[in-house]
Amino acid sequence: MSASGAIAAMHGRIIRAFAGMGAFNEAGAKSLDELGLRFYARGIFRRMERRGIIIKTNDDRYYLDKDYYDARVKRLNVVRPIALILLAVVIICLIIFIR
């Protein structure tokens, strides 16, 4: 896995932790321990916080920006089918040209 792939995987892991706990607003904010992110990808987490993707509350809990999450899900719902189609085309081409 490339460095950018590893970063994307960690980014996704952080987002899934928030989404899995329903931490999308201050009332639902969770601590890093609750999210299972205490020592996870600290640099990526801080970068997401600086960009406003993750918001910190006054009592050291965090939540994920719901608008960002919704836009990400929408984007992935477009990209995934295209990627699967391209993968299928590549596999078919390999099968045809290997024979």
**pTM attached to this predicted model:** 0.72
pLDDT of residue 33: 87
- Total structural domains in the chain? 1
Residues of the chain with pLDDT under 70: 1, 38-41
Q: What is the CATH number of the domain that holds 55?
A: 1.10.10
Burial 27-61 (b: 16+ CB within 10 A, else e): eebbebeebebeeebeebbeebeeeebbbeeeeeb
Range of the domain at 36: 3-98
